Each structure stands twice: as C-alpha cells, then as structure tokens.
Amino acid sequence: MEIKTAVTSLSALAHEGRLTVFRALVRAGQSGMAAGRIADESGTPANTLSAQLNILSQAGLITSERQGRSIIYSACFDQMSDLIVFLMEDCCAGEACVATSVEAAANRVLCCTTENKELTQ
C-alpha cells in the first residue's frame, strides 16, 4: 500500500462518526445495512450521513449496492486488511512486541471465527 492510500484510509477512519458507521457495517456483516437504517440508528441526518458514507466509500473501505429504493452499504475488508498490514510492516518494522500482540489478536479472531462457523454449521 502506498503512503497516500494509507493516509486516505486513515483520514476516512479518523472521525468518530465515520468510525462508528464503519464498525456498525462490520458488525452487520455481508448483508450490510441500508443508508436509512444507519442514519436512524446513529441519529445522524441523512445528508450528513451520506457525506460520511461517501468518504468511506472513496477510501475503498465500504461498498454500496442499490436494492429497490434502498442503498445497502457493507464493509469492504480488503482495504482494511491492507491498511493493517501496512501499519504493521511499514510503521512498526521489526518490532517484535507489536507483531506478537497483533499475532495474538489475529489468533483470537481466527479462533472466534472458527467457533462461529462450527456453531452455525
């Protein structure tokens, strides 16, 4: 990931409203959420939210798809994954303590995912 791309992604996430929206979309998973529902749940006016979604979208962090009158937004994990890897490799290079913590977190996430899959299968 190039530094300019990283700055764009970081800027998009560096706003409490947008970060909250992004996390809501992460929790919503693959089915995503309609813009209107996000606006309702966050109590943000529709036009303000639209601007926030646009910034996240231009940063490649979310994608949208129209479904009837609604537009469904969902988190796009590729960009987030690239960003995290960039932060770890290019911004913490060679720091074992960071890599160890992060690896442990990755294992916790993988563990939970596996558990969830087992539960839902």
Q: Report the C-alpha gap between 113 and 116 in whole angstroms.
A: 5
Q: Report the C-alpha gap between 76 and 61 in whole angstroms.
A: 5
Among 1, 41, 77, 121, binds its own copies (CB under 8 A): 77
Size of the site for its own copies (CB under 8 A): 50
Residue 58 in the binding site for DNA (CB under 7 A): no
Q: How far is the CB of 15 from its own copies (least distance, A)?
A: 7
Strands 70-75 and 33-34, sheet pairing:
antiparallel
Of the pair 28, 70, the CB lying nearest its own copies is at 28
Of the pair 15, 99, the CB lying nearest DNA is at 15
Site string for DNA, 71-100 (x = CB under 7 A): x-----------------------------
Residue 64 in the binding site for DNA (CB under 7 A): yes
| Length of the chain, in residues | 121
Q: Report the C-alpha gap between 1 and 29 in whole angstroms.
A: 24
| Sequence-ordered list of residues with C-beta below 8 angstroms from that of 65, at least 6 positions apart, any chain | 32, 71, 72, 74
Instruction: Candidates 38-46, 49-57, 65-73, 93-101: pick the segment binding its own copies (CB under 8 A).
Output: 93-101
DSSP state letter for 106: H
Rule CB under 7 A: which residues touch DNA? 11, 15, 17, 34-37, 39, 44-55, 64, 66, 68-71
